[in-house]
Amino acid sequence: MIKYWGHSAFRPLQEDIINSVLEGRDTLALLPTGGGKSICFQVPAMAKEGICLVITPLIALMQDQVENLKKKDINAVAIYSGMHRNQIELVLDNCMFGDVKFLYLSPERLETEKFRAVLTRLNVNLIAVDEAHCISQWGYDFRPPYLRIAAIREFLPDVPVLALTATATPQVVADIQDKLGFKKENVFQKSFERKNLTYVVQFEEDKLGRLLRICNRIKGTGIVYVRNRRRTREIADYLNNNKVSASFYHAGLDTATRDKRQSAWMSGQSRVMVSTNAFGMGIDKPNVRFVVHMDLPDSLEAYFQEAGRGGRDGNQSYAVVLYEKADIIDLKHNHQLSYPALDMIKKVYHALGNYFQLATGSGKDRSFDFELSEFCHQYNLNHVVAFNALKFLEKEGYLMLSEDVGSPSLVNIKTRKDNLYRFQVENPVYDPFIKLLLRSYSGLFTTFARISEIEIARRMPMQLNDVIKNLHNLNQLGLITYVPRKDKPQLVFLTERLDVSSLQISRQHYQDRMQSAEKRLNSVIDYVSSTNTCRSQLLLAYFGEKESQRCGKCDVCIERNKLELSEFEFRKVSDQLQLLISDRALSLEEIMPKIKGLNEDKIIMAFRWLLDNDRITTTDDHKFIWIKKDTDKKD
């Protein structure tokens, strides 16, 4: 632990999970965001001979973890859609014949012929499935390719599976174990309660003004989440103009800009990051003091993960949602747009094939520059509808859409050192160029190195166009593999182009997913609309923890605390009142004698709070009745 991770002790549950894996048992670990999930597979994998397969759909997180492991002198590699075929071959060779300890894979890569041919030749010690909720159709980010993970277990019958997720309802917990073929149910679950995190929901029409007051009142680092890329810049500008240091972040920025802004925020040079949900995966900054959502999230799972980036150091932090009535309308509208009609999804898929001039049966694993606006203009498609159709096709495993731009150029030397030397002697015009490459970048014979054509041009010196020409020429001569920098978003076909009639999206399956998403959306609306139940209790109940205590700090609890009633006294009134007027209306004169155990003043206090917070209402004849809600549960 100390050698690689710098810790002398485990966090709660980590050691139990690790021991379960070392004993060869299939294990499901539910640890909240920041709970140290990666340690749970990295430690047992390092303790055993062989290689650990880590399956995750998040390429950015994959790349981040590989880099972090390499910094610890742990050999880790990744394979994901969009990589050059020579990159993939080199990675697999290193896994078979080198000392690789971790192979990160997107789930789609498990089914490729190349990987299946190599799989049985690898000494696999563990299969780690990150973001395991993606395997359940009841989960908030269901991805059908995850269902195919269990198929590789027949090739590795004695290798345990460790499934990891930060958010899962009880239904999803059961589904994960079933879909991954667990030999026996085995769940380690840390409570989702975050005692140092105060949840606040504020109905607010002047959101910018409220945000500024939050930034001025709460000292320290913060994250502000919005849906729209344009608004990330606008809100960051507003904060900067009001003397709050802020930056903005979204997937449309090039890699260098994103890295620079992330580093500035991590180091404290920039105090507030305004971002879409593209920001946060793999970010482990312990001292985030507030997380503000300016727009409503699609699900409580997503909200819990994003809000959970606050207060990882255990100190007091705040998770704030600012909303107004229009936000609920927008949320429902976005839900409708997120599920284009099946015919529209098929139309977009067909248009894609024509756009890239792919014949049916071709295109598998090919990557293309892709500008969504150009595509929509050419085929007269609504931008939002087309984007959501593509995201649906992505989750179904037909394609991958990468919005990242500015990925660096890569070079690997394919030939042996003696062949390269002979080429340099026979082609002196290339000799200084190749020598500079070898001096500037290490590992060119064994891996793909990131290069900068601009830096090479400066050092030679040489015109940039001539550098690029030389690299292309050496690539064509078979001496190197040159993967040029990508300046546009990429679209990768994960399967060969299919005839539209062969797209396997069942109508029932589509309806089930849409209805599940609608239930999650309604849970978000219930969460922000509720004024009688502690915010922490609402979240915990959603994730199956029904017996939690009030936090005493959220906006609902603070209002309740003003009653000068103890928890016991308030419950005594509330419980009796709910029984009395759940199914029939009574007048105040009828109610008061029936409430036992408290004086009249305290009964009136509780009564007034329940009335003000829409838990009871009056009828036309001035009687009172309990308002039944889905969120009804003990306060």
Residue 100 pLDDT: 93
Q: What percentage of residues in the chain have a pLDDT greater than 70?
A: 96
Q: What is the pTM of this model?
A: 0.79
Beta bridge partners of 128: 54, 162
Please choose, from the candidates 281, 285, 282, the residue with its C-alpha nearest in 3D space to the C-alpha of residue 272.
Answer: 285
Query: Distances in Å between the alpha carbon of 7 and those of 101, 183, 479, 540?
Result: 20, 32, 45, 29
The enclosing H or E element of 246 equals strand 246-249
pLDDT in tens, 197-221: 999 999 999 999 999 999 999 999 9
Beta bridge partners of 617: 625
Please choose, from the candidates 396, 393, 385, the residue with its C-alpha nearest in 3D space to the C-alpha of residue 349.
Answer: 393
Backbone angles phi, psi at 260, to 5 degrees: -65, -45
Residue 512 pLDDT: 86
Angle at 294 between CA 288 and CA 297, to 5 degrees: 90
Name, of 72-81, 321-330, 403-412, 545-554, the range with top average pLDDT: 321-330
Query: Distances in Å between the alpha carbon of 500 and those of 144, 352, 461, 497, 505?
Result: 18, 11, 52, 9, 11
Asked if residue 595 has pLDDT above 90, the reply is no
pLDDT in tens, 145-184: 898 899 999 899 999 999 999 889 999 999 999 999 999 9
Angle at 310 between CA 264 and CA 541, to 5 degrees: 155
Out of 90-104, 445-459, 596-610, least confident range? 596-610
Please choose, from the candidates 147, 189, 216, 250, the residue with its C-alpha nearest in 3D space to the C-alpha of residue 17.
Answer: 189
Out of 26-35, 98-107, 283-292, 492-501, least confident range? 26-35
Asked if residue 487 has pLDDT above 80, the reply is no
Asked if residue 7 has pLDDT above 80, the reply is no
Distance CA 495, CA 399 (A): 7
Question: Mean pLDDT throughout 323-333?
Answer: 94
Distance CA 612, CA 609 (A): 5
Residues of the chain by 3-state class (helix, strand, coil), percent to 5: 45, 15, 40
Asked if residue 481 has pLDDT above 60, the reply is yes
Please choose, from the candidates 473, 332, 321, the residue with its C-alpha nearest in 3D space to the C-alpha of residue 411.
Answer: 473
The edge-to-edge listing of strands for the beta sheet with 480-483 is 449-451, 409-413, 480-483
- Residue 379: half-sphere exposure toward Cβ, Cα within 13 Å: 21
Residue 635's pLDDT band (cuts 50, 70, 90): very low
Q: At 293, is the secondary structure helix, strand, or coil?
A: strand
Residue 111 pLDDT: 79
Residue 598 pLDDT: 79
User: In this structure, are residues 247 and 261 in contact, taking their beta carbons and an 8 Å threshold?
Assistant: yes
Please choose, from the candidates 517, 538, 504, the residue with its C-alpha nearest in 3D space to the C-alpha of residue 629.
Answer: 538
Between residues 182 and 615, which one has the greater pLDDT? 182
Asked if residue 57 has pLDDT above 80, the reply is yes
Asked if residue 6 has pLDDT above 70, the reply is no
Residue 34 pLDDT: 67
pLDDT in tens, 533-589: 899 999 999 999 988 888 989 999 988 777 677 778 888 888 888 888 888 888 888
